[in-house]
Amino acid sequence: MLAAEHAVRGPAGLRGMVLADTPASMPLWSRGVARLRRALPREVREVLDREEAAGTTGSREYAEAAQVFYDRHLLRVTPYPPEVAAVFAGRQEDPTVYRTMIGLSEFDVTGTLRDWSVVDRLASVRVPVLVLRGGHDEATAESVAPFTELVAGARLRVFPASSHMPHIEEETAFREAVETFLAGCDAGGACVR
């Protein structure tokens, strides 16, 4: 999201951009996540709904229900690698940044980013863009579509066996996609579109 914000300003020296698992707008993100949530098993949705209505999203039941979503759309590898587990532990220990920016969860974005969008400014991006996402990603196709629809020459690569972390789930293919894109950048600094 920060890279997209930077690119729409047309900064000098920007030669290309890789956007991995990021939405073009939080309203699009929220719509996609809501659709994914509706596809969860009924009993999981009922727990999420009940705990949210009761204001008990810190409960063990809520965490277990949310984990079903995460196992489908955040990271499809279990157990989580140490670096991912550490991020979750850190967020649980001090949720200040996440709650300020997102809110209690990605199911209901109420934080400062709730209305964030670069969609109306994407046509100003004049560098090659590689958009990456997993086939089961919580960054749904609809949330990344504006990048490929509005940035001239932007390319999309979907990793079919991955969710939100194809850099972990399909590490070799992910690395090859990024390396191929970067190899298209010539010595003069222009990436091939």
Domains detected in the chain: 2-25+116-183 (3.40.50.1820), 31-101 (no CATH)
Of the pLDDT bands very low, low, confident and very high (cuts 50, 70, 90), residue 184 is confident
Contact 151, 123 (CB under 8 A): yes
**Residue range 59-112, pLDDT digits in tens:** 999 999 999 999 999 999 999 999 999 999 998 899 999 999 999 888 989 999
Express each pLDDT in 127-153 by its tens digit: 999 999 999 999 999 999 999 999 998
Residue 188 has pLDDT above 80, yes or no: no
What would the pLDDT profile of 153-173 be if each residue is shown by its tens digit? 899 999 999 999 999 999 999
Going from the C-alpha of 155 to that of each of 77, 169, 193, the distances in angstroms are: 26, 21, 8
Handedness of CA 108, 149, 18, 168 (dihedral sign): positive
For range 6-11, the mean pLDDT: 95
SS3 133: strand
Given this model, what pLDDT does residue 106 score?
87
Name the region of 61 (left: φ>0; alpha: ψ -120 to 50; beta: rest): alpha
- Residues 36-64 have pLDDT tens digits of 999 999 999 999 999 999 999 889 999 99
